[in-house]
Structure 1
Amino acid sequence: MESRAAFVLLGVLYLAVTFVTVQAVTYSGAAVVHEGQAWSIECSGLKEDDPIRWTRNGQSLEPELSSGQLSVLSPRGSGTSKLSAVQATDSHDGSYKCTPQSNDDFHLTIYVGENSDLSDPSMSPDLKIKVLTPKDVPLILECENRVPLEKPVWLKEKVAVLTAFPQNEDLVKIDNATGNLIITKVLDPAYGNYTCKIGNTTTEYRVVQKPTVVLDDSTNVVEGEKLHLVCNGKQSPGIKVLWYFGEQNYTSSRGRVKISKDIDRGIHGGVLVVENIEMSDRGDIFCKVAYNWSDPSEEHSASAKTYLRVKDKYAALWPFLGICAEVVVLCVIILVYEKKRNKAELEESDTDNSPETKPLPNKDSDIRQRK
């Protein structure tokens, strides 16, 4: 009994030590990075015997490390390892781990949009997206870092905002007390890019309409082939896309599920590709979009679903085999019929060619006549 208790105690201590070791690994770094920016993720709390092997979504980064796209710095004895890239690309989006011993991971989101190119110093990387619907009116855009007694300058598509709406002069107004821009109506001219300038600081906004999603009611894919879906609809660059497939949510590639950019519309994550579709994949697939996942309002998000129908890869073969079977049966029937008919004709022919039996003349009657 005592030995069993000691064994259980040792097991508990082992699990506790393992748990502490796993929980000791922590990550730090920018969670959201614009395309083209440099980024780095630092993993700390590593022990000397912990294997350092960076992965993204469970996949090895060796090809990108060997090509120089990514680099790893792990000073000996520091207990840290840093993964970095000079320029962020949409393929860098995903969940990172520095060691298999880590129970946690670090999710890096790459923002891909019109203002993701930071080569233009007039474009701020901190673009704020606001959805304009009837429930949002009046929509207030605040000019950040305002200096007292200094008047802000508001621009709409790089044009003075008060002169940008010649036919809708009352569409927007500027609050002189706060310097905020107020959009008073829901009209198409109100959508677009706004900039507030105060001295050397700028605040960037993009006002967009409620997003929409369009998917077919059903999608047919043959077993073993590839599923390709595009989350269509009215959406602006910078929107976040979530796919629901196989009872799991996907915002980035994982396993045979590949999430990629809709190049035609510039929507990151707008394309879902699943290799080697299986019969068990049959079911509903959802696409949900929002500019901010922390905003639960239905007015600012949209979703749609399609039902995936998986066809048997031999389904097209069965009608052909059925036709072949019918042809074989017909051929057999014809052969049997022809064989019986030929046999009957042969028997009739043999009967027709047999010699006729004629009655023999009566010799006695001939003799009597001669007499």
Structure 2
Amino acid sequence: MVYVKLTILLTVLGNLQRGHSDTTVASASTSYVNSSNEPTVDGSTVQYQTNWTTTDSNGGTTKPVTQNVMTTEASTPNPEAHLQILGKGLRWFQENSTFKLFCSYSDASINVDPAQLRFYDGKNNQLSEDRGFRRTVLSSSSSFVNVSLTKDRIQAEDFGKYVCRYGDDSSFNIHVGILKVNITDATYNLLMENKEDYTLTCDVIPAVDTETINSEVTLWFKDGVKAEDVSPRHIVNGSTLNIRKAEWSDIGPYTCEYIVLWGSNNSSFQWMVSFNGEARIGSVSVSFNYFQDDDMELSCPVSGYPYPVVTWQRNGVVITPDNRITLSPDASGKYINAVLNIQSLQFEDKGDYSCTGSSELNTVTSSPIKIRVKDKYAAVWPFIGIVVEVLLLVGIIVVCEKRAKRKKEDTDVVDQPTARRTSERRTSEARQRIISS
């Protein structure tokens, strides 16, 4: 019997191009629950997932912005080898993103001609380069061919039915929906701190033809927490997020999640909306005293969004890491090089230190921190001096006492004969007075 297999798979590979410099596409991948590279058609279940991951170009911080489209479908075994199809239904793409459409055909009973497997729109017009589409033969053999259809920047008018056909007999079609997204960021005004209201917008406009959208909803998150749970000041109104009397802690990346339900299937998409704030640096200590061979750690109290990148200076010269000096992010991991570590401080490490935070919005530098490095024996020298002084005083006192004692002894020896002569003279005078009388 003739066995014919025709499968079609969509993979979103492209840029989530919003016209914002802070977001770039890091990766896009399609994975199958089947162990093989292609979904099977022998009655098993196929499951595939498409991921978009964006990163912040200011420091490379990965954002939790991932688009997941998860669909599970099963084919029915056909012992008579009729056409087997996987991937029915509607597939979504974001406007200005790049997509790839894969189509493969196999038939062991004929010599498969790669040129016969082509793509058409719903009006039976071949999709060719004049409309921005590129057809590429990825692999082929006498009984198998696999081709792709790509377009770099799909537009809203590209929605509709896409047909993959081998010759005039075997064909398969799906419906492509295009999501047009209007993103409005906001920037915090430091002069109006805690006094101004801000609005973030994530307006998603779907373009689709035959499939019916049963419902759609937009959710807002900050750091994985629903925006309305962050504070009562965060008010969600569909495609808009209002932040009343915004505080500095409200700045940062917000995630807009769009969920669309069509038929019995649903798809979820996420985008990043920025609440920006100029870089600022808090107060720092005026000075620190260290001893030679101590380890030093200084932290730069920087904040802002996009997250500023920190550089350190000593006496106005930028510090370069080496075997003793390391730079690392802060505890949150958001601010690159915010922590300066120097091991085994030396006298040449003393000086005025400062940190600078730079983002695409502004650059700000901290006040200087004076670092003093003392001799590691500096605390010993005063003690030794005191001991020496005490010993000298004791020595002087001992010498003085000895001299005083010796002088006293000499005086006593000289005075004893004089006292004896005086006594004898008084006795002689007394005798003479007695005789005279």
Provide TM-score, normalisation by structure 2. Answer: 0.41
TM-score (norm 1): 0.47
- In terms of fraction of residues, the more helix-rich structure is 1
